[in-house]
Structure 1
Amino acid sequence: MTRPGVFGALNEEHRERLMSLAREVSFATGERIFNEGGKADRFWIIHTGTVALDLHVPGRQAAVIETLGAGRLLGWSWLVPPHHWHLGAEADSPVRAYEFDAAAVREMCAKDPGLDHELCTYVAGVLARRLRSARVRLLDLYAPHGAGEVP
């Protein structure tokens, strides 16, 4: 059986090493997990529930960019200096997640180039998907009809 999300991107040894740093946490429906611009000093892997990622739009309500579920990585800004959130996140339902201290994971990656490569490759894919989701969502909301069509 293939594991979803980040767990499927790491080999068993790296998955076990990463999980040795995990701490189980939970968030209630409607609880704000982080805000755009805040300090990104941790990240999560969602175990159960859903989290909405949103983007601040001046003068308007925040735009939900993507909804994440089980196995998905919540937060990538911890990996890229200056370590500030680029999006916001709110629990859409009761959430249980594994929380990781970003500094501890970066230190582990510095000592294990294989883990670093697997994790950075996975996060790069997450970044690409979220950028596309943000573009499509903002075009859906604010562009003239048909402006977001891809040739």
Structure 2
Amino acid sequence: MTSYPGALPDESVLAALTAEQRGRLMALARDVVLPAGTRIFEEGEKADRFWIIRSGTVALDIHMPGRGRAVVETIGAGSLLGWSWLCPPRQWHLAAETREPVRAWEFDAAAVQNLCAEDTGLGLSLVTAVAETIGDRLRATRTRLLDLYGPPGPPGSGAAP
């Protein structure tokens, strides 16, 4: 297995790729550091890149009319940040903000899409890993919205009204 400075644990999105595929993808990576409190992207903006978080945490939030932003999930090391680049209309479905300093690998979506077109095996592996991330994010968003909008629990249950 090829090692990269600050390599991630086996559960990272990179684990879905073979060593050769990881090497080809990582050749497109750019190391970035984002200070705490950085708004990385906003809902509805053009999604033209993605990140693999190496350290730190990022809160994913959604704008709720009349309520402001609601955090639906917080992600950390090994997590894929951003999947909207893969699916038309290629606009962010959520927004993201660093909770603490974050170090990540940043990828240009167009370059990765070209790589996937050249190497369909890599493309299938990457799309499968992204699809798993989409499923996880949808479940987290659903759970959070049920917490905010769902019916109150029975009296004495400790559930928020």
Q: TM-score, normalised by structure 2?
A: 0.88
| In structure 2, C-alpha distance between the alignment counterparts of 1:141 and 1:113, rounded to whole Å | 41
| In structure 2, C-alpha distance between the alignment counterparts of 1:128 and 1:116, rounded to whole Å | 18
* 1:38 to 2:45 alignment: yes
| Letter in structure 1 aligned against 2:35 | A
Q: Work out the number of aligned pairs and report it.
A: 147
| In structure 1, C-alpha distance between the alignment counterparts of 2:57 and 2:127, rounded to whole Å | 23
| In structure 2, C-alpha distance between the alignment counterparts of 1:142 and 1:28, rounded to whole Å | 32
* 1:119 to 2:126 alignment: yes
* 1:86 to 2:86 alignment: no
Runs of 4+ in 1 over 3 A off after TM superposition: none
Q: Which SS does the other structure have where 2:64 is aligned?
A: coil
**Shift in Å, 1:5:** 1.9
1:7-86 equivalences in 2 (<5 Å) = 7-86=14-93
Q: Which SS does the other structure have where 2:110 is aligned?
A: helix
5+ residue gaps, structure 1: 147-151
- Say what the alpha-carbon RMSD is for the aligned residues: 1.5
5+ residue gaps, structure 2: 1-7, 154-161
Show CA shifts across 1:127-150 (max 9, x none). 11110100000001121124xxxx
| In structure 2, C-alpha distance between the alignment counterparts of 1:15 and 1:121, rounded to whole Å | 14
Residue 3 of structure 2 corresponds to none
Larger Rg: 1 or 2?
2
